[in-house]
Amino acid sequence: MYTSGKYSSRGPALIPRMKTKHRIYYITLFSVVLLGLIATGMFQFWPHSIESTADWTLDKRSVHDAPLIRLPVSSPIPERGDLSCRMHTCFDVYRCGYNPKNRIKVYIYPLQRFVDELGVPISSTGLSREYNDLLSAISDSDFYTDDVTRACLFIPSIDVLNQNSLRIRETAQALAMLPRWDKGMNHLLFNMLPGGPPDYNTALDVPRDRALLAGGGFSTWTYRQGYDVSIPVYSPLSADVDLPERQPGPRHYFILSSQTAIHREYRAELERLKEENGEALLLLDKCSNLSQGAASARKRCYKGQVYDYPQILQESSFCVVLRGARLGQAALSDVLQAGCVPVILADSYILPFSEVLDWKRASVVIPEEKLSEMYTILKSIPHRQVEEMQRQARWFWEAYFSSMKAIGLTTLQIINDRIYPYAARTYEQWNNPPVVKWSSVNSPLFLPLIPPRAPGFTAVVLTYDRVESLFRVITEISKVPSLAKLLVVWNNQNKSPPEGEKKFKCPECTAIDGLSLDQTHMVERSECINKFASVFGTMPLKVVEHRADPVLYKDDFPEKLKSFPNIGSL
């Protein structure tokens, strides 16, 4: 009895010593449990695929299995975008509701393939790689909801990033067929390459009712301030090329122009600048001897000399970003990635995310007409600022340009900030690179106020058991005219606080008075400082060599005429 009793208390060790009958019993029991678990696991996935086969195929995640929708010719077309739309007129805030997280919910329509009656798709590319990345990033984010009834913002899975690949009328019809379209209310479209020949509109030409447009290449005439979002044109080089961040500082070239399709008028202007200023300018063009294709996108030439693009961008302080047929240029992204300060010459262009980003700290905007003065203008910029802008440019790329995810989530955050303005991200959060966020000091009491004496101050006295010195402090401090209140924090668990004017005899007080000189005390405090500094990640304390004294402190001057004669008399 004794031994088994001892074993039973040990639990599992018991099993090998058990009788066969018991062992079988246990094995059966565990198999049952195991089977049960497996069954539960199966049950979790099984019912879904039975309920909806359509969904199952979607889960296989192939574009070609998406349901095909045929658009009737007579299918309604939305109205052209209304230029007067603003959040308070064209956006339904009631769908966003009040929530403690102050975060909008975003729904993404499932993928469908739209074709016209003849079976021709509405888009030549269908779902692009970038739009797929964008939608996936949103669906993985906190904004996402799969519950259409809780959504505040709707994103169609119809890819309109590039207008060139779209059939305008049919795309518009497809949008209007979306089940929650409702005149485009609370719908968000992403477009990076708007317009088409010959006049290249600066906003997507697809009629879209009241839908919000996140567009790359808005001009001041098409951008509905506070409603649309201006986004960058994504550059595929962001993902393909790894350009390590370089320390800000002067570069080999002063100005670099690397775009290949510059209008001949402007190219002539740049050539003239090059003649005047020589080596400081590097004027690149595409390489005539290289075959077309992806490889040629990564090379630039000047008089037969071949340069790697975008690496060459890192060799210049300033990089020209000129408008082309469109205002938005993917080159802007490459330039920022290289930490080169963009010189933007695109009149009326609304810079990406200009609602929240302070481009004046990261770029130089010059009117197209002043292209010929570019060199002089850039030379007038102080070195310090060039360095600041180089750092800022790279940070903008990292945070807001580097991936479709960054672009998509920034767009949603901007819309979120409009709906919950009191919880909006601050200027500092948007614009300060991490290195500044860490080192910058922002006092919560930033207003320079010199408070009047009237409200006085409250004295808070922390005490343990040195009652005598406590009374001394109280007596002295209560003589101060500005004292409004005196608060004693009694920290002694063994004694209750003394009442009234009763005085305690405290024999050990004098002994403890020497506490601050105690060696172990100092060691402890040093340890504290080290611990705090490691938790803060930095040493926030600053050393100064000055001390504040009254103006006439220790001056050879009649004491009775001094405001604070007793200071330092101890």
Partner 1 sequence: MQAKKRYLILLSAGACLILLFCLGGIQVPLSRRGPSRPHDRRLSGYGPGARWRHMSGYLQPFSSWEQDRSDDLTEHISPRQKRDANSGLYTGKRCRMESCFDFSLCERNGFKVYVYPQQKGEKLSESYQNILSSIEGSRFYTSDPGQACLFVLSLDTLDRDQLSPQYVHNLKAKIQSLPLWNGGKNHIIFNLYSGTWPDYTEDLGFDIGLAMLAKASISTENFRPDFDVSIPLFSKDHPRTGGEKGYLKYNTIPPYRKYMLVFKGKRYLTGIGSDTRNALYHIHNSEDVVLLTTCKHGKDWQKHKDARCNKDNAEYDKYDYREMLYNSTFCLVPRGRRLGSFRFLEALQAACVPVMLSNGWELPFSEIIDWNRAAVIGDERLLLQIPSTVHSIHQDKILSLRQQTQFLWEAYFNSVEKIVLTTLEIIQDRVLLHTSRSNLMWNSLPGGLFTLPQYSTSLRDFPFYYAELGIKPPSKFTAIIHVVTPLVSQSQPVMKLLVAVAKSQYCAQVIVLWNCEKPLPAKHRWPATSVPVTVIEGESKVISSRFLPYNTIPTDAVLSLDEDTVLSTTEVDFAFTVWQSFPDRIVGYPARSHFWDSNKERWGYTSKWTNDYSMVLTGAAIYHKYYHDLYTTYLPASLKIMVDQMSNCEDILMNFLVSLVTKLPPIKVTQKKQYKETMMGQPLVPLNPSCQGTKQNSPSRWADPDHFAQRQTCMNKFASWFGAMPLVHSQMRLDPVLFKDQVSILRKKYRDIERL
- The residues in 164-193 that bind partner 1, with binding defined as CB under 8 A, are 164-165, 179-180, 192-193
DSSP string, 361-418: GT-EE--GGGGGGHHHHHHTS-HHHHHHHHHHHHHHIIIIISSHHHHHHHHHHHHHHH
217: alpha, beta or left, given left = phi > 0 and alpha = psi -120 to 50? left
Residues 287-306 contacting partner 1, CB under 8 A: 292-294, 296-297
Residues 269-288 contacting partner 1, CB under 8 A: 286
- Closest contact distance (angstroms) between CB of 373 and partner 1 is 10
Residues 382-401 contacting partner 1, CB under 8 A: 382, 384-385, 388
Q: Are 324 and 381 in contact (CB under 8 A)?
A: no
Residue 345 main-chain phi, psi, to 5 deg: -120, 90
Give whichever of 400 and 470 is closer to partner 1, judged by the CB atom. 400
- Token duo for residue 128: 């692009």
Q: Which H/E stretch holds residue 522?
A: helix 519-536
The one segment of 50-58, 460-468, 485-493, 516-524 that binds partner 1 by CB under 8 A: 50-58
Residue 514 found at the interface with partner 1 (CB under 8 A): no
The site for partner 1, by CB under 8 A, has a size of: 156
CB contact burial 432-447 (16+ within 10 A = b; e otherwise): beeeeeeeeeeeeeee
* Rounded CA separation 67/40 (Å): 31
Residue 68's alpha-carbon distances to 60, 63, 120, in angstroms, are 16, 11, 11
The correct pick among 17, 23, 48, 531 for binding partner 1 (CB under 8 A) is 48
- Angle of CA points 549, 555, 557, to nearest 5°: 130
Residue 521 found at the interface with partner 1 (CB under 8 A): no
| Strands 305-308 vs 316-322: parallel, antiparallel or unpaired | unpaired
Give whichever of 146 and 527 is closer to partner 1, judged by the CB atom. 146
- Closest contact distance (angstroms) between CB of 509 and partner 1 is 25
Q: Which amino acid is at 260?
A: T
Give whichever of 253 and 309 is closer to partner 1, judged by the CB atom. 309
Residue 10 found at the interface with partner 1 (CB under 8 A): no
Q: Which amino acid is at 265?
A: E
Residue 433's alpha-carbon distances to 127, 398, 464, in angstroms, are 34, 10, 46
Residue 421 found at the interface with partner 1 (CB under 8 A): yes
Give whichever of 172 and 470 is closer to partner 1, judged by the CB atom. 172
- Closest contact distance (angstroms) between CB of 402 and partner 1 is 16
Cα end-to-end span (Å), the chain: 82
- Closest contact distance (angstroms) between CB of 506 and partner 1 is 28
Binding mask 74-103 for partner 1 (x = CB under 8 A): ----------x-x-xx---xx---x-x---
- Closest contact distance (angstroms) between CB of 103 and partner 1 is 14
Residue 492 main-chain phi, psi, to 5 deg: -100, 115
Residue 105 found at the interface with partner 1 (CB under 8 A): no
Residue 267 main-chain phi, psi, to 5 deg: -65, -40
Residues 426-455 contacting partner 1, CB under 8 A: 426-427, 431, 435-436, 438-452, 455
Residues 214-233 contacting partner 1, CB under 8 A: 220-221, 225-226
Residues 312-331 contacting partner 1, CB under 8 A: 323-326, 330
The single-letter DSSP state of residue 447 is S
Give whichever of 511 and 551 is closer to partner 1, judged by the CB atom. 551
Give whichever of 192 and 282 is closer to partner 1, judged by the CB atom. 192
The correct pick among 17, 24, 27, 55 for binding partner 1 (CB under 8 A) is 55
Residue 59 found at the interface with partner 1 (CB under 8 A): yes
Binding mask 346-385 for partner 1 (x = CB under 8 A): -xx---------x-xx--xxxxxx-------x---xx-xx
- Closest contact distance (angstroms) between CB of 464 and partner 1 is 27
- Closest contact distance (angstroms) between CB of 513 and partner 1 is 19
Residue 209's alpha-carbon distances to 53, 78, 172, 446, 543, in angstroms, are 34, 5, 9, 46, 62
Residue 311 found at the interface with partner 1 (CB under 8 A): no
Give whichever of 425 and 503 is closer to partner 1, judged by the CB atom. 425
* Rounded CA separation 295/363 (Å): 29
Binding mask 532-561 for partner 1 (x = CB under 8 A): ------------xxxxxxxxxxxxxx---x
Residue 139 found at the interface with partner 1 (CB under 8 A): yes
Q: Are 83 and 224 in contact (CB under 8 A)?
A: yes
Residues 118-137 contacting partner 1, CB under 8 A: 125-133, 135-136
Residues 192-211 contacting partner 1, CB under 8 A: 192-193, 197-200
- Token duo for residue 177: 């067929």
Dihedral, CA atoms, 385, 388, 393, 394, nearest 10 degrees?
A: 150
The correct pick among 23, 70, 80, 263 for binding partner 1 (CB under 8 A) is 263
Give whichever of 517 and 544 is closer to partner 1, judged by the CB atom. 544
Helix, strand, or coil (residue 333): helix
